[in-house]
Structures are given as C-alpha cells and as structure tokens.
C-alpha cells in the first residue's frame, strides 16, 4: 500500500474542527485526540496521517509536497499566497479581515499618508493599492490593536471575529477587507498522483457540508 495521504492541520481551533469533521465522516481520530505532544498521528481507517503545524508552515509543507493536503485559514492563504490548489471552503473558522481605527475617526479624511499596523502586510498593501492609496505599513506580531492606541498607526488591518477586542479597546471597523474561513488546500503534484483518493475525500467532505 502507498504511504497514507498526509494532511497538515493548523494547530488549535482549525485542528479541532477538522477532527470533528473527519469523525462525522466516520474516521477514527482517536490518535489525534489523544496525541499528547506527538506531531504526526495516524487515521488508520482513512489511510491518512495528520501532521500538526503552525498556519504558515501548513502552506510550506503542502507547497513542497511533503504533505498532500492542508487545512489553513484564508487569512494565511491571502498573506502567504504560494503554489497550491485551494479545494474546499470548509465553512468553519469564520471571521473577517477588517480595517479598524479609533472610534469616531474620519479615517479617509486628510491628505497625509496613513500609517497602518498589521500582522498581514501583504493583505493590507493589496487592499490599499486597490484603492490607489499610498500607505506606510508597519508589521506587528500580535495584539495589533495596541498600535492605534499608542499612536503608532492611524489604523490596523486585522482579524475580527466577535469584535470584542476592538470594542474593549475603543476601536471600530472602518471597512471590511475580506471574509475568512478554513480552506482545504492540495499540493499540485499530489492532486495528480493521488487523484482518486483525494477526490473521494473531497466528495465526502462536500456532501457532509451540504
Ligand atoms: C485575533 C485578532 C484580534 C482578535 C479578534 O488575535 O488578531 O486581536 O483575535 O477577535 P475578536 O474580534 O473575537 O475579539 P489573537 O487572539 O489570535 O491574538 P494576537 O493578536 O496576539 O495574534
């Protein structure tokens, strides 16, 4: 038998939601649930193997073909881009990219170049380029909401889920940038070499999601 289909999952919530989805398809995910500190776990009855990784690394492993499939947020896909196929919108992990600023700010007024803080510089740059707006983008690693509060930036481009973080820090959405949800991605070569197995899995997923 060929090696199991290797699927990289983004550790954390997307991992849990994917395991839930696989179990609803009838796969035994006990090894993933009881993983301890192990990073490669078998799903024997599906001839699959789960690899647990950080979001950016899911894309790297799939691009290089060491994992056939991956589950990763559209946020990471939009920021990293790369050479792989986006196969299915899995529907979970829903949130959005939004431009936000201090409450009551007339963000688009004035002529000066706006400074934008973000964990997603490519997403932010593309958003403002489409508007023909010149901006200075500053990369921040986390808790981006701090940047306008500390007067480092006029606005932020960040993930908004419930809106609580913005609200509790006196910020508000100026404009939605893009909707986000988890996607199943596939390595381009795997899709040819393991076509039947991958298509079968995707069909099962799509039928379940319907
Ligand atoms: C994300 C995001 C926001 C927050 C949004 O941060 O960057 O800060 O969640 O969620 P909410 O709209 O439900 O409040 P995360 O918790 O991943 O931490 P980080 O900012 O340190 O990356």
pTM for this entry: 0.95
Tens digit of each residue's pLDDT (9 = 90 or more) over 84-128: 999 999 999 999 999 999 999 999 998 899 999 999 999 999 999
Backbone angles phi, psi at 125, to 5 degrees: -60, -45
Domain 5-93+181-209 homologous superfamily, CATH: Periplasmic binding protein-like II (3.40.190.10)
Q: What is the mean pLDDT of the chain?
A: 97
Residue 167 CA: which ligand 1 atom is closest? Answer: 14
What are the extents of the domains in the chain?
A: 5-93+181-209, 95-178
CA of 137 to the centre of ligand 1 (A): 19
Report which protein residue has its CA nearest ligand 1's atom 2: 159
CA distances from 137 to 16, 143, 178 (A): 33, 16, 18
CATH of domain 95-178: 3.40.190.10
Helix (H) or strand (E) holding 109: none
Query: What DSSP character marks residue 209?
Result: H
Nearest to 149 by CA among 201, 197, 100, 92: 100
Query: Residues near ligand 1 with C-beta < 6 Å?
Result: 142-145, 158-165
When pLDDT is cut at 50, 70 and 90, the band that residue 30 belongs to is very high
Asked if domains 5-93+181-209 and 95-178 share a fold, the reply is yes
Whether the per-residue pLDDT at 1 is higher than 70: the answer is no
CA of 180 to the centre of ligand 1 (A): 13
The predicted pLDDT at position 201 comes to 97
Tens digit of each residue's pLDDT (9 = 90 or more) over 161-181: 999 999 999 999 999 999 999
């Amino acid at each position: 038998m060929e090696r199991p289909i290797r699927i990289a999952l983004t550790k954390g919530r997307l991992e849990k939601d994917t395991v839930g989805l696989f179990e609803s398809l009838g796969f035994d995910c006990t090894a993933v649930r009881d993983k301890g500190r192990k990073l490669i776990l078998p799903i024997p009855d599906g001839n699959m193997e789960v690899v647990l990784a950080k979001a950016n690394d899911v894309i790297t492993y799939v691009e290089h073909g060491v994992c056939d499939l991956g589950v990763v947020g559209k946020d990471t896909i939009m920021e990293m881009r790369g050479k792989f196929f986006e196969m299915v919108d899995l529907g979970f992990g829903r949130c959005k990219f939004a431009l936000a600023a201090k409450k009551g700010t007339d963000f688009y007024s004035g002529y000066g170049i706006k400074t934008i803080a973000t964990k997603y510089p490519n997403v932010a740059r593309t958003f403002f380029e489409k508007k023909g707006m010149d901006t200075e983008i500053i990369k921040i690693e986390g808790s981006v909401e701090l940047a306008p509060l500390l007067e480092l930036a006029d606005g932020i481009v960040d993930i908004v889920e419930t809106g609580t973080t913005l609200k509790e820090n006196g910020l508000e959405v100026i404009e939605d940038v893009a909707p986000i949800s988890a996607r199943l991605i596939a390595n381009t070569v795997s899709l040819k070499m393991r076509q039947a197995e991958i298509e079968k899995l995707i069909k099962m997923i799509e039928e379940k999601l319907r």
